[in-house]
Amino acid sequence: MLRVHRLQTRFYTRGGVVRAVEDLSFTVDAGETLGIVGESGSGKSVAMYSLLGLIPSPPGRVDRGEALFAGRDLLRQPERALRAIRGREISMIFQDPMTALNPYLRVGTQVMEPVRIHDGMRPREARERAADALASVGIQDARRRMAMYPHEFSGGMRQRVMIAMALITRPRLLIADEPTTALDVTVQAQILALIKKQQADLGMAMVLITHDMGVIAEACDRVLVMYAGMVMESGPARDIFRKPLHPYTRALMRSRPALRGSGGELYAIPGLPPDLITPITGCPFAPRCDHARDVCREAACALRALEAEHHTACVRVIAGKL
Amino acid sequence: MSNALLRMDALKTHFPVRHGVVKAVDGVTLRLEAGETLGLVGESGCGKSTLARTVVRLERPTAGSIVFEGARLDQLEGEALRRVRPRLQMIFQDPYASLNPRRTVFDAIAEPMVAHRITPRREAAAAVFALMEQVGLARRYARKYPHEFSGGQRQRIAIARALSLRPRLLLADEPVSALDVSVQAQILNLLMRLRAEYNLSMVLISHDLAVVRHMARRIAVMYLGKIVEIGPADEVFHRPRHPYSRALVSAIPLVDADTEQRRTRIMLAGDPPSPLNPPQGCAFHPRCPYATAECAQTLPALQACGAEHKAACIRLDAIGNGS
């Protein structure tokens, strides 16, 4: 469905060149969910915005790479062509539905906008489709609610509206950027279940961006672990949780308090995430890694498959030293 | 049990709004022993932050009492309140919003302790450097401004400033929610270390149940202004009694696939109701899978369901202990 090859996105600012995405390759198949996990500054959101032509330029620039979606390279489409793809074949859901919804427009108007614009649907028909879309995401009394404004909805309900709006055109790919981070856990569970159900109904591919390993475990088939604009590890979700093959992934999992915890000292990754302006030689995680040796600092290590579809970028794990 | 550091009795904090009253905190009774950490969990809008803000008197209680170190905090005003304030300090989710962007780190830490006459001005520099070292900030950062720091470092500054007043009680409102996972662990470890060194009592508010579970001895679960369950952390997590606590615990996404398969998820219908118009009877009954007609009528009181363990549900016996 989507094949991204060696994507590189940088921001040319007065303070220097910010290397947001250095080298990113992945694929997503129809009906599959790919999770991208990483901390702030790991490049996970910038990568997705790059695909959709949503990087503010200047200062941002996609310097390299290829993103094949249904035979077309998204990175080389003119703005007009991208506009026809965005919101129709590829939809996006953001973390904060309040900033993504227009506070001045009625909810119904916003939900039917994609089919009005992309499919040229007539108002009456679009209204029907919007009511169906809202009902399918569990909004009761959808017809009456369409006349309301976003502020009259709770956070969970707004996120449902966003989902209805993203799915109304029956996209082939959904990109969800921290879709449940602003929500309470009980509502998060509802929204994740809802997205999964809609995905199954439409046979859609999904890229789910999150910093929460729990959300990944719950909703994803495959996972990419990103750090400083690079992929540290990728593979089937189950394998990554059972047997992480990169010290960064292991450190991330160890630093979370366990629900059956002892209350003792937590494992804390030393140091801070790297400053993306200073060029990094070697593995970007090496300065914070307990297992780093000289070989790690000399040259960056390419991803290598150690097991079927389970890749790591750790030179020491590849050499069998860890 | 006379050594309670903090006691709240039938505490209410209501906010009048245009079309009624928001009962943010609505009859909370709690006690906190010296040196104890209590975790406070619940969904957004349940009143947990308002409760903490009322204890430090950033909000004025509408009814009920707060007793801290034997003094009626709810009745103090002016100079008397000012004298108590250093002894209970609060840290917030977003340390950037609580730091003055035009003050250096040094000033941010030095000013409160000089203003409250805890440290004489001429000794302030030594005290600031000592605090910075304790929270893991290098001395050379003293002349820098808040925007020059990462989120985790700013939270360290906020913690140093709170400690500079030598508090007995620290109220931490989502102290690590805005931080990356790798930094969260650093700050939680710091809080645990300082808690032991200063013999601090702590109220830890978080929507992240794993964080609370790790830090707190006892946990209180709030729903729409009321405590619906309170008990030892292990009990509340592994044998929650109130249907809401059960749903909350079961909704935590787990990394461990084996445990995931064994547990049953309780999926709640709908969103938390508006505190402006809370349901009659038990506020949770419209979303509760166990609710009966009586639940819509009767306001449940907290009742004992184990050692130190209480839950506010009239159907506790009927729904069993779920273990």
Q: Which pLDDT tens digit goes with each residue over B74-88?
A: 999 999 999 999 999
- Which residues, in sequence order, are CB contacts of A113 under 8 Å at separation 6+? A165
Q: How far is A139 from chain B (nearest CA, A)?
A: 9
**Residue A156 domain-assigned (yes or no):** yes
The yes-or-no verdict on residue A70 having pLDDT over 90 is no
A289 near B CB under 8 A = no
- Per-residue pLDDT, averaged over B254-272, amounts to 69
> A148 lies in a domain?
yes
Q: Is residue A139 part of a domain?
A: yes
Chain A positions in Cβ-Cβ contact with residue B210 (cut-off 8 Å): 256-259, 261
Tell the residue number behind the tokens 């245009």, with chain if given: B18
The band of B108, judged by pLDDT with boundaries at 50, 70 and 90, is: very high
Among the residue ranges A34-48, A243-257, B258-272, the one predicted with the least confidence is: B258-272
Strands (E), A83-204: 90-93, 173-177
Q: Return d(Cα A85, Cα B250) in angstroms, integer.
A: 39
Q: Where are the domains of chain B?
A: 4-319
Output Rg (C-alpha) for chain B, integer angstroms. 21
Using CB atoms, which residue from A39, A157, A187 is nearest to B180?
A: A39
Higher-pLDDT residue of A185, A205? A205
**Domains in chain A, number:** 1
- The Cα A292–Cα B258 span in angstroms is 31
d(CA A269, nearest CA chain B) in Å: 5
pLDDT score, position B90:
94
Name the pLDDT band for B197 (thresholds 50, 70, 90). very high
Q: What local confidence, expressed as pLDDT, does residue B262 receive?
A: 58
pLDDT at position B5: 95
Q: Residue A36: CB partners within 8 Å, gap ≥ 6?
A: A44, A47, A48, A207, A208, A209, A210, A223, A224, A226
Q: What is the pLDDT of residue B145?
A: 93
- Do A208 and A220 meet the contact criterion of CB atoms below 8 Å apart? yes
A217–B268: do the CB atoms touch at under 8 Å? Answer: no
Report pLDDT digits (tens) over A2-31.
999 999 999 999 989 999 999 999 999 999
Q: Å from B43 to nearest chain A CA?
A: 6
For residues A248 and A38, give the distance between their C-alpha atoms in angstroms, rounded to a whole number. Answer: 10
What domain range includes position A120? Answer: 98-170
A138: in domain: yes
Whether the predicted pLDDT of B323 surpasses 50: no
Q: ∠ at Cα B176 (B172, B181), nearest 5°?
A: 160
Percent of chain A with pLDDT over 90: 56
Residue in A closest to B254 by C-alpha: A214
Size of interface A-B (CB pairs under 8 A): 117
Topology of domain B4-319, CATH:
Rossmann fold (3.40.50)
Domain membership flag for residue A142: yes
Q: Which pLDDT value is given to residue A260?
A: 65
Confidence band of A194 (pLDDT split at 50, 70, 90): confident
What does the block give as tokens for A315? Answer: 């030179």
Reported as type and span, the H/E element at residue B194 is helix B181-198
Distances (CA, A) of A104 to A99, A124, A129, A158, B285: 12, 21, 22, 14, 34
**Taking a C-beta distance cutoff of 8 angstroms, is the pair A4, A65 a contact?**
yes
Report ipTM for this prediction: 0.79
For range A239-266, the mean pLDDT: 85
> In the predicted model, is pLDDT for residue B303 greater than 50?
yes
Per-residue confidence (pLDDT) for residue B260, from 0 to 100: 54
What mean pLDDT comes out for the span B273-285? 87
Using a CB-CB distance cutoff of 8 angstroms, which residues of chain A are in contact with residue B150? 272
Q: What is the mean pLDDT of residues B241-249?
A: 93
Residue A109 covered by a domain:
yes
Q: State the Cα–Cα distance between residues B86 and B93, nearest whole angstrom.
A: 20
- Domain contains A131: yes
> Quick one: average pLDDT of B11-18?
92
- Please give the pLDDT value at position A78: 92
CB contact at 8 A, B109 and B128:
yes
Instruction: Specify if A191 maps to a domain.
Output: no
Check whether B259 has a pLDDT greater than 80: no
Q: Which tokens go with B270?
A: 């709908």
Amino acid at B278: P
